[in-house]
Chains A and B, each alone.
Chain A
Amino acid sequence: MWWYTARRILQTIPVLLGSTLLIYALVFLRPGDPVRALFGDKPVSEATIAQVREQYNLDEPFLIQWLLFLKGALTGDFGQSFTGRPVIDLIAEAFPVTIKLALMALVIEAVLGIIAGTIAGLRKGKLFDSTMLVVSLLVIAVPIFVFGFVFQLIFGVKLEWFPPTVGGNTSFYNLLLPAIVLGLVSFAYVLRLTRTSVAGNLSADHVRTARAKGLAEGVVVRRHVLRNSLIPVVTYLGVDIGALMAGAIVTEGIFNIPGVGNLAYQAVVRGETPTIVSVVTIMVLVYILAALLVDLLYALLDPRIRYA
């Protein structure tokens, strides 16, 4: 178990390094001069430009820039945004909002997806199952921003159940509608996964054995079907945190939420290398940590791999 944990942690290091390098390279490919772009049409002296260049390490070769970024990141210094604020401060403001939003979405999709998926799996081919299947397919097929606008219009503007935009007040209630929109696609996947898993497990040999023992149907389903079926679902949910963070780019845009997604989008539009790379690094870190957590949780759920 200890070795398993240690090895998984070791494996994540090259992935983390590699993905920051990758993002660094992609941003580096951007044509044009970010410094000149920063000043727009304003006339600036060459000296000022050189100074700004040095300040952001833009005069160094690409790999050195990356290494300097890493060095800074290790000490908590992610550089400065073009507006002069330390990136770490921007992230510190935005990150909790997005995490809150993503966790809310995760809870919503997990609870609803698992419940609906289980019922559908147990009653495969019946009305509820077919309905859920259609709903999940629709949710996957329609781009999420369409749902975003429609929900905003119906529940925010017309019915006035929720505020149509969030703005500065990121309370639980204000984030509820965006969280539902954010979790919608994953809800469909969780539902489908649970359904397939439950339906498959229902015909497993060990479930027949459980029935042969004379267990009541409810006990059979709870202890022998559900628990086994949830293992792949848990894996999916863990990896999904990363996807939710990225999905926040769209959702935060629609509902005007000051989170990391918005921050990332603005930075991309402006070409602010330090902010882009920092935000991506944080998101990748969250994804990797979640995947790690799931792997370890997996070992608790499934005794077979405890000593692998």
Chain B
Amino acid sequence: MSTQQPLLEVRDLDVAFYADKKAIPAVQGANLTVYPGQTVAIVGESGSGKSTTAHAIIGLLPGTGKVTGGQIVFDGEDVARSGKKEFQALRGDQIGLVPQDPMSNLNPLWRVGTQIKESLIANDVAKGKDADRRVHELLAEAGLNDVERRARQYPHEFSGGMRQRALIAMGLAARPKLLIADEPTSALDVTVQKQILDHLDGLTDELGTAVLLITHDLGLAAERADHIVVMYKGRVVESGPALEILKNPEHPYTQRLVSSAPSIASQRLSSVKEREKVRERAIQTAGEIAAEIATTEGVVGKGEDNIIVVENLTKIFRLPGDRPWRKTELRAVDDVSFALPRGTTTAIVGESGSGKSTVARMVLGLLEPTEGTVKFDGYDTAKLKGKRAMALRRQMQPVFQNPYASLDPMYTVFKSIAEPLDTHGIGTSKEREGKVRDLLDKVSLPTSVMRRYPNELSGGQRQRVAIARALALEPEVVVLDEAVSALDVLVQAQILELLNDLQAEMGLSYLFITHDLAVVRQIADDVLVMQDGRVVETASVTEVFDSPREQYTRKLLDAIPGRDLLTTA
């Protein structure tokens, strides 16, 4: 084995981007080695330099990016400073790429088959009729059915998973020796993600293709790769055999990553115990609040045990059909019922299109249900009018998914958090300022951020501000719609912790909407699994993780990457 030559050797690689003639280093002194047929993963958060390294290898650095030092030895030759023509010869049949976002990486104006055929022709693999036949074979190989029809279709007629398969077919079309897979599945649903990665694994094994996998998910990297390279702030901080890294991480950063990765944390018993403590305190506090509410005027509530009861909730969207006078009906939510006990968290888990967010919007009163009722502490929310409807708004608040879109970019942090107080006419301006300070303190942000604008904050910080805004009116229920999904793992872990602390302290009840079953264990008590608008399983968190009843739930669990690595190995 040791006589084998490495396929790719990156030595002391420096990459920088230029802005105003100043070099901003993106990668510094990176080293990594890939042998033929191997899978090597680069793991890191956004901004760690992992994608930049990958793009440098294939000569596709965006904009002002330049390799400023070191070597990239591919198949015995240093390509770090190759020109356009040399890279062009290398791409396709030597190094292939499966890009990140399947939605934007296919040209919308060309048929899928044509786009794959281009690769065959450019790399002199096949021509004319042969090329067409080869396209069909490649699509079949990538796991698509009915390939002749698929090849004639346009990208918009494909689902996300199908597009990613087409991109895999494209990346492997000219049989490259090395395939760079840049977060190939992070935009897809978990179950599709698993299918596609399994398929990619099988295919590259069979063809003997080496894979350089770029990912933010340590669990996924450990599951799929032989060798892992961890990057942080543009540098390689640790590398070595996959399992070894996962089991005894030595660099403090890797240790942090391992302890925060939700796929791994969900398996730890400690997280279950911590959650139990949180719940106990939260239920107690919530009970005290409930007793108070039952006797307070002007508040919506009877102090019941279940703060939200949803019965037979259904939402039908009417969409334009193939004829103008015909409408097709889409049952986005179909007969959903559940209860949210005071001071606890109920998670609604499902993949895209499962109707989970539609449920959240109906509970929040942002969308009118077609049928069914939402009861808030004993009152039917649809029947509340005027003042009482406004009062209900104060008692239930949302936090949304996208930290970049959930704050008004024109508002300072202060104005954003104070807006709910302003709208409801609470307090004098001085009192409001004090309140905003308190809230920032609660979400662990320094008060100096008050005068800042959202574009100056990171995703996690914006999400904290969004939480502070939601808490401004002292609600009892917070609806968290994918509130941590868009965040890097470390930040995600932090926000989950914050949410737990706040729940314990303030006796909040959470409705937690997510596509990621892995994070559920750290925050939820009960779980609703939704598929195609219906609830397929309702159970406690422990039951769902330890003894799932439904096959679909099991499928979701299996799809959590790296789930078995620590328990079985």
Contact = CB atoms under 8 A, between A and B. Distances in A.
**Interaction A to B:** yes
Given A205-B104, A205-B105, A210 B118 contact: yes
A214 to B, nearest CB: 3
A7 B60 contact: no
Contacts of A3: 323-324
Interface in A252-308: 301-304
Contact of B108 (A209, A210, A304): A304
Contact of A205 (B99, B119, B323): B99
B379 interface: no
Q: Which 10 A-B pairs have the closest CB atoms?
A: A214-B92, A212-B97, A214-B91, A205-B104, A213-B119, A303-B154, A206-B107, A209-B105, A215-B122, A205-B105
Interface string A135-174: 0000000000000000000000000000000000000000
| Interface residue tally on A, bucketed by range | 20 to 34
A106 to B, nearest CB: 24
Contacts of B115: 210
B417 interface: no
Interface in B87-111: 88-93, 96-97, 99, 101, 104-110
Contacts of B99: 205, 208-209, 212
Contacts of B96: 212
Interface stretch (B166-174, B211-219, B448-456): B166-174
Query: Among A206, A214, A301, which residue has the most Cβ atoms of chain B within 10 A?
Result: A214
Given A215-B88, A215-B122, A216-B88, 14 more contacts: A203-B63, A206-B104, A209-B105, A209-B170, A211-B60, A212-B99, A212-B171, A213-B92, A213-B122, A214-B89, A214-B92, A228-B108, A304-B108, A304-B156
30 contacts: A3-B323, A7-B324, A205-B101, A206-B105, A206-B107, A206-B108, A208-B99, A209-B99, A209-B107, A209-B167, A211-B91, A212-B58, A212-B91, A212-B96, A212-B97, A212-B99, A213-B119, A213-B122, A213-B123, A214-B89, A214-B90, A214-B119, A215-B122, A216-B88, A216-B122, A219-B122, A302-B108, A302-B109, A303-B109, A304-B108
A36 interface: no
A224 B123 contact: no
A209 B110 CA distance: 13
B109 A212 contact: no
B118 to A, nearest CB: 6
B80 to A, nearest CB: 18
B129 interface: no
Contact of B106 (A209, A211, A214, A227): A209
A205 B324 CA distance: 35
Contacts of B425: none
A214 B93 contact: yes
A212 B154 CA distance: 20
A217 B88 contact: yes
Nearest to B108: A304
B62 A203 contact: yes
Given A205-B104, A205-B105, A206-B107, A219 B118 contact: yes
Q: Is the interface of B mostly helix, strand, loop or mixed?
A: loop
B90, B107, B110, B122: which has the most chain A beta carbons within 10 Å? B107
Interface string B54-72: 0000101011000000000
B430 interface: no
A85 to B, nearest CB: 45
B106 A213 contact: no
Contacts of B110: 223
Nearest to A205: B104
A227 B109 contact: yes
B162 to A, nearest CB: 16
B104 A213 contact: no
Nearest to A230: B109
B84 interface: yes
Nearest to A206: B107
A199 B104 CA distance: 17
A304 B111 CA distance: 11
Interface string A213-245: 111110100011001100000000000000000
Given A204-B104, A205-B105, A303 B88 contact: no
A3 B58 CA distance: 46
A301 B97 CA distance: 28
Contacts of A214: 88-93, 119, 122-123, 174
Contacts of A224: 107
A227 B107 CA distance: 10
Nearest to A308: B320
Contacts of B106: 206, 209
A84 B174 CA distance: 76
A217 B84 contact: yes
Interface in B106-162: 106-110, 115, 118-119, 122-123, 154, 156
Nearest to B58: A212
B254 to A, nearest CB: 30
Contacts of A302: 108-109
A213 B101 contact: no
A224 B89 CA distance: 19
Interface string A103-145: 0000000000000000000000000000000000000000000
A269 to B, nearest CB: 46
B118 A223 contact: yes
Contacts of B170: 209, 213
Nearest to A227: B109
A1 to B, nearest CB: 11
A303 B156 contact: yes
Nearest to A303: B154
A206 B107 CA distance: 5
A272 to B, nearest CB: 42
B359 to A, nearest CB: 29
Nearest to B55: A208
A228 B60 CA distance: 20
A190 to B, nearest CB: 20
A47 B112 CA distance: 76
Interface centre among B88, B104, B109 (most CB of A within 10 A): B109
Contacts of A205: 99, 101, 104-105
Nearest to A7: B324
B55 to A, nearest CB: 8
A212 B60 contact: yes
Contacts of A219: 118, 122
Contacts of A216: 88, 122
A266 to B, nearest CB: 45
Contacts of A213: 91-92, 118-119, 122-123, 170, 173-174
Contacts of A215: 88, 92, 118-119, 122
A301 B109 contact: yes
A228 to B, nearest CB: 6
Contacts of A227: 109
Nearest to B120: A213
Interface string A186-205: 00000000000000000111
Interface in B13-68: 58, 60, 62-63
A249 B323 CA distance: 44
B534 to A, nearest CB: 29
Nearest to B114: A223
Contacts of B109: 227-228, 301-303
Residue among A208, A217, A301 facing the most chain B CB atoms (10 A cut-off): A208
Contacts of A206: 104-108
Contacts of B123: 213-214
Nearest to B89: A214
Interface centre among A209, A211, A224, A301 (most CB of B within 10 A): A209
